């Protein structure tokens, strides 16, 4: 019941915040287990954020929606409550450690899948696609008016703010759920340590490493895309704009820059 309640609460919090989620495919029960009378282990459905909806909202919509601090924190609150209930129901002593560690491990695995694959990963992937992959087709008008706002070179400032919030959310995820070496935290690492289940700790560490590795890979791809966009727009200004100035009898842009 706890494993069903947690993903429901997390998805409900995103839905209440106005986020659009992708409908999960219907579950396919394992008939071989059913024929043997074995209860199949529950697996939460994969209900990620809808990428097109994220992109359509724009950077301001992303910051005011899924990347709003209260929205980022709500799933972590649900997960902390779930850990507390599991700890109270099954205890944290070694004699009941196998059951407790198994439940805690499943809760942590669920949250790695939800907060990563269902939440942060789609956000970072969409942020990348929201950046233009080529400069504007029109020729830039040079020299720029210094009294006007400087061009963003294709990368809106909100893009960097969004990445910073994703980074902060990932740190909060680790601090609020894993909490390694935080005595008295009653979080995943401490509970598994008290239960004395070294195998569960090792598996949980693998989940943790995978969560951050996948997020880092997507974050790096988004940053590379931003750098490529900046480079393309800089070339657009220096080359296309410079050629236009020379064609109209203006001074070379390089001479203008160097005085």
Q: Tens digits of per-residue pLDDT, 199-242?
A: 999 999 999 999 999 999 999 999 999 999 998 888 777 776 55
Distance CA 259, CA 257 (A): 6
Mean pLDDT to the nearest integer, 8-22: 93
Mean pLDDT to the nearest integer, 75-88: 92
Confidence of residue 98 (pLDDT cuts 50, 70, 90): confident
pLDDT for position 135: 73
Yes or no: say if 253 and 153 are a contact pair by the CB < 8 Å rule: no
Inter-axis angle of helices 2-16 and 69-90, to 10 degrees?
170
Residue-range domain boundaries for the chain: 2-23+32-139+152-258
Yes or no: say if 121 and 215 are a contact pair by the CB < 8 Å rule: yes
pLDDT for position 45: 79
* Residue 40 pLDDT greater than 60, yes or no: no
Which of 166, 189, 17 lies closest to 107, judged by CA?
189
Unique residue bearing structure tokens 């209860």: 39
Q: What is the reported pTM?
A: 0.84
- Which residues, other chains included, contact 66 with Cβ-Cβ below 8 Å and sequence gap of 6+? 14, 17, 19, 49, 54, 72, 119, 123
pLDDT for position 142: 60
Instruction: Report percent pLDDT > 90 for the chain.
Output: 53
């Amino acid at each position: 019941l706890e494993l069903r309640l947690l993903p429901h609460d997390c998805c409900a919090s995103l839905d209440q915040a106005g986020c659009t989620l992708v409908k999960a495919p219907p579950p396919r029960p394992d008939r071989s287990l059913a024929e043997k009378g074995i209860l199949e282990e529950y697996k939460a459905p994969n209900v990620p954020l809808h990428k097109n909806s994220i992109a359509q909202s724009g950077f301001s919509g992303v910051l005011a929606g899924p990347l709003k601090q209260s929205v980022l924190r709500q799933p972590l609150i649900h997960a902390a409550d779930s850990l507390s209930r599991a700890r109270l129901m099954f205890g944290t002593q070694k004699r009941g450690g196998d059951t407790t560690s198994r439940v805690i491990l499943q809760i942590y695995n669920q949250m790695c899948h939800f907060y990563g694959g269902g939440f942060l990963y789609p956000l970072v992937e969409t942020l990348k696609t929201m950046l233009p992959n080529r400069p504007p087709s029109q020729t830039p008008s040079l020299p720029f008016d210094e009294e006007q706002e400087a061009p963003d070179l294709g990368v809106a400032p909100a893009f960097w703010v969004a990445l910073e919030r994703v980074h902060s959310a990932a740190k909060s995820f680790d601090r609020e759920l894993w909490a390694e070496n935080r005595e008295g935290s009653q979080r995943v690492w401490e509970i598994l340590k008290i239960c004395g289940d070294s195998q569960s700790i090792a598996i949980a560490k693998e989940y943790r490493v995978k969560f951050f590795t996948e997020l880092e890979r997507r974050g790096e791809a988004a940053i590379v895309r931003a750098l490529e966009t900046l480079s393309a727009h800089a070339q657009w200004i220096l080359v296309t704009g410079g050629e236009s100035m020379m064609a109209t009898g203006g001074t070379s842009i390089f001479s203008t820059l160097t005085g």
